[in-house]
């Protein structure tokens, strides 16, 4: 009797598993790469899908991973018949960090869930290098140079250069107006450990390009 | 004899129906709500389970709280070595500047950096990716806490 019950339970579990994890909506491209243009704050992406199963599928929710992303179904349609197609439309704020950024959303249906990703390639227009300058404690307080290059087609001005801390002298110079700047940093002394931040503000329209910082350490 | 077999069959059917119901409820409603124990061998690269983190780093941890400001205000994380960095806030750079002395000094202090957010939030990845950029030359290990705030709040020594 135990064996019979066990077999029955296994069969039931297998049946249940097949019901719960039945094939879901088929997305053409679950990861959509988007190249972000200079000054672009919002990007959009579309995720076309088709119900390739033999039963209707109801989209229950689309959960976005951050409040910088919104998502909706084309025409707000929820139920998709076998063979029917639809589109998940998303909009994403590009945020304050340049580089490759993934934003995800999860489409939950009555058959399961699918993770979708917008892979945004956000350009760095104002490039400040190096971001970390180090002087050894007790060494000669030699000047070091930070360079700021404008990589976009439009010229950008430095509107403010400031130091958080008081352990360094700094001297900003325009090398090529709108394109290249340099800041020479010199420690006042290297006898004691210190951590200061040199902050730069520009007239670039995007927050990620309008403020930059490099970190100065004596250790 | 026949009655005994029938009774046994009835009992089997009852047990089967009960088992089926429990299995269905568990799979359909309880399973999605249940947080499986974190297995370090199975987490994504760069992620760390809280148990591994506490075992390997004890209290040599710089916590970076990447949760939304609303969430932080409702459920604050008051650890002395914690710093907020919210990649989508307009003051993201100011927050990062406040955290940088600790982050850049982490290697010298034998500390690691752990970024956390809510379970399904991608801000941790954004912050970790930013901090891992070679130009910052941050040598201390940078991890993303698997399960984020949901895992953290289970530990009463960290979130009373």
Could you tell me which of B150, B158, B144, B154 has the C-alpha nearest to residue B43?
B144
Facing residue for A96 by CB, picked from B88, B101, B122:
B88
Chain A CB contacts of B120 under 8 Å are 63, 65, 104, 106
What is residue A13's predicted lDDT score, i.e. its pLDDT? 47
| C-alpha radius of gyration, chain B, whole number | 23
* B43 HSE (CA, 13 A, CB side): 19
Q: Mean pLDDT, to the nearest integer, of B15-25?
A: 74
Confirm or reject contact between B153 and chain A (CB < 8 A).
no
Residue A7 has pLDDT above 80, yes or no: no
Q: Mean pLDDT, to the nearest integer, of B109-118?
A: 95
Facing residue for B87 by CB, picked from A96, A100, A104:
A96
Does the beta-carbon distance from A8 to B12 stay under 8 Å? yes
Residue A1 has pLDDT above 50, yes or no: no
CATH number at residue B78: 3.40.250.10
Percent above pLDDT 90 for chain A: 72
Chain A CB contacts of B101 under 8 Å are 195
User: Which band of pLDDT confidence, cut at 50, 70 and 90, is reported for residue A28?
Assistant: very high
Residue B146: inside a domain: yes
Measured between alpha carbons, how far is residue A23 from residues A58, A78, A80, A83, A89 in Å? 13, 17, 13, 13, 22
pLDDT: which is higher, A176 or B69? A176
Residue B160: inside a domain: no
Residue B41: inside a domain: no
Confirm or reject contact between B129 and chain A (CB < 8 A).
yes
Size of interface A-B (CB pairs under 8 A): 100
What is residue B130's predicted lDDT score, i.e. its pLDDT? 92
Does the beta-carbon distance from B125 to A211 stay under 8 Å? no
Rounded CA separation B111/B118 (Å): 23
DSSP per-residue codes, B128-154: HHHHTSGGG---S-EEEETTHHHHHTT
* B9 HSE (CA, 13 A, CB side): 6
- Beta-bridge partner residues of A162: A199
Residue A217 has pLDDT above 60, yes or no: yes
The conformation of residue B135, written as its DSSP 8-state character, comes to G
Please name the residue of chain B whose CA is at the shortest distance from the CA of residue A105.
B120
Facing residue for A197 by CB, picked from B28, B100, B129:
B100
Q: What tokens does A24 get?
A: 């879901």
Confirm or reject contact between B29 and chain A (CB < 8 A).
no
Residue B157: inside a domain: no
Residues B97 and B121 in one domain: yes
**pLDDT tens per residue, range A47-63:** 999 999 999 999 999 98
What is residue B31's predicted lDDT score, i.e. its pLDDT? 53
A 10 A CB-CB count for A158 gives 18
What is residue B24's predicted lDDT score, i.e. its pLDDT? 67
Could you tell me which of B151, B160, B142, B144 has the C-alpha nearest to residue B78?
B160
Residues B55 and B111 in one domain: yes
Confirm or reject contact between B136 and chain A (CB < 8 A).
yes
Average pLDDT for chain B = 87
pLDDT: which is higher, A18 or B9? B9
Residues B17 and B53 in one domain: no
Residue B58: inside a domain: yes
Mutate to test the interface with B, among A96, A110, A132 (most CBs of B within 10 A): A96
Percent above pLDDT 90 for chain B: 53
What is residue B97's predicted lDDT score, i.e. its pLDDT? 94
Residue whose token pair is 């404008």: A150
Average pLDDT for chain A = 88
B43/chain A closest Cα distance in angstroms: 17
User: Which band of pLDDT confidence, cut at 50, 70 and 90, is reported for residue A21?
Assistant: very low
User: Which band of pLDDT confidence, cut at 50, 70 and 90, is reported for residue B30?
Assistant: low
Chain B CB contacts of A148 under 8 Å are none
What is residue B117's predicted lDDT score, i.e. its pLDDT? 92
- If DSSP codes are grouped into helix, strand and coil, which group holds residue A65? coil
Rounded CA separation A204/B89 (Å): 17
Residue B32 has pLDDT above 50, yes or no: no
Residues B133 and B59 in one domain: yes
- Beta-bridge partner residues of A64: A105
Predicted ipTM beyond 0.90: no
Residue A117 has pLDDT above 50, yes or no: yes
User: Which band of pLDDT confidence, cut at 50, 70 and 90, is reported for residue A8?
Assistant: very low
Confirm or reject contact between A101 and chain B (CB < 8 A).
yes
Residues B88 and B109 in one domain: yes
Count of structural domains, chain B: 2
Confirm or reject contact between A100 and chain B (CB < 8 A).
yes
Residues B69 and B129 in one domain: yes
Residues B65 and B114 in one domain: yes
* B132 HSE (CA, 13 A, CB side): 16
Residue B54: inside a domain: yes
Residues B84 and B115 in one domain: yes
Residue B107 has pLDDT above 60, yes or no: yes
Residue B94: inside a domain: yes
Residues B59 and B19 in one domain: no
What is residue A148's predicted lDDT score, i.e. its pLDDT? 97
What is residue B29's predicted lDDT score, i.e. its pLDDT? 56
Rounded CA separation B150/B134 (Å): 30
Confirm or reject contact between B107 and chain A (CB < 8 A).
no
The domains of chain A, with CATH numbers, are 24-122 (2.60.40.10), 126-218 (2.60.40.10)
Domain that holds residue B58: 47-152
- If DSSP codes are grouped into helix, strand and coil, which group holds residue A78? coil
Measured between alpha carbons, how far is residue A19 from residues A58, A62, B79 in Å? 15, 21, 45
Q: Mean pLDDT, to the nearest integer, of B21-47?
A: 73
Lowest mean pLDDT among A45-59, A120-134, B24-38, B121-135: B24-38
Residues B71 and B121 in one domain: yes
Residues B53 and B84 in one domain: yes
Looking only at Cα atoms, what is the longest distance across chain A? 89
Residues B60 and B115 in one domain: yes
User: Which band of pLDDT confidence, cut at 50, 70 and 90, is reported for residue A219?
Assistant: very high
Residue B142: inside a domain: yes
Rounded CA separation A34/A109 (Å): 26
Measured between alpha carbons, how far is residue A108 from residues A32, A60, A61, A78, B30 in Å? 19, 6, 5, 11, 16
């Amino acid at each position: 009797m135990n064996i019979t019950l066990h077999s029955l339970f296994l069969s039931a579990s297998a049946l249940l598993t097949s019901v719960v994890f039945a094939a879901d909506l088929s997305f053409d491209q679950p990861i959509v790469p988007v190249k972000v243009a200079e000054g672009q704050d919002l990007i959009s992406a579309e995720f076309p899908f088709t119900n390739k199963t033999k039963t209707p599928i109801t989209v229950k929710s689309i959960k976005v991973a951050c409040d910088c992303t919104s998502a909706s179904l084309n025409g707000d349609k929820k139920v998709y018949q076998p063979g029917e197609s639809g589109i998940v439309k998303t909009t994403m704020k590009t945020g304050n960090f340049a580089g490759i950024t993934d934003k995800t959303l999860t489409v939950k249906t009555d058959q399961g869930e699918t993770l979708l990703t917008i892979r945004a390639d956000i350009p760095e227009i104002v490039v400040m290098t190096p971001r970390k300058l180090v002087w050894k404690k007790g060494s000669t307080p030699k000047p070091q140079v930070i360079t700021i290059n404008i990589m976009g087609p439009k010229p950008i001005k430095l509107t403010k250069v400031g130091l958080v801390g008081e352990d360094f002298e700094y001297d900003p110079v325009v090398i090529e107006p709108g394109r290249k700047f340099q800041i020479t940093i010199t420690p006042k002394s290297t006898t004691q450990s210190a951590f200061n931040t040199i902050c730069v503000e520009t007239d670039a329209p995007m927050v990620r390009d309008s403020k930059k910082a490099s970190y100065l350490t004596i250790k | 004899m026949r009655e005994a077999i029938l009774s046994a069959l009835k009992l089997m059917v009852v047990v089967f129906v009960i088992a089926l119901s429990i299995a269905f409820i568990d799979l359909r409603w309880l399973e999605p709500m249940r947080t499986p124990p974190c297995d370090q061998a199975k987490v994504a690269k760069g992620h760390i389970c809280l148990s591994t983190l506490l075992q390997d780093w004890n209290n040599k941890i710089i916590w970076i709280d990447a949760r939304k400001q609303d969430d932080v205000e409702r459920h604050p994380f008051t650890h002395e070595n914690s710093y907020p960095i919210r990649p989508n806030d307009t003051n993201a750079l100011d927050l990062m500047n406040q955290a940088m002395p600790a982050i850049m000094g982490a290697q010298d202090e034998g500390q690691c950096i752990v970024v956390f957010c809510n379970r399904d939030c991608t801000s941790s990845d954004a912050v970790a990716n930013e901090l891992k950029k070679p130009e910052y030359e941050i040598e201390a290990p940078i991890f993303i806490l698997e399960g984020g705030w949901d895992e953290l709040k289970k530990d009463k020594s960290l979130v009373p």
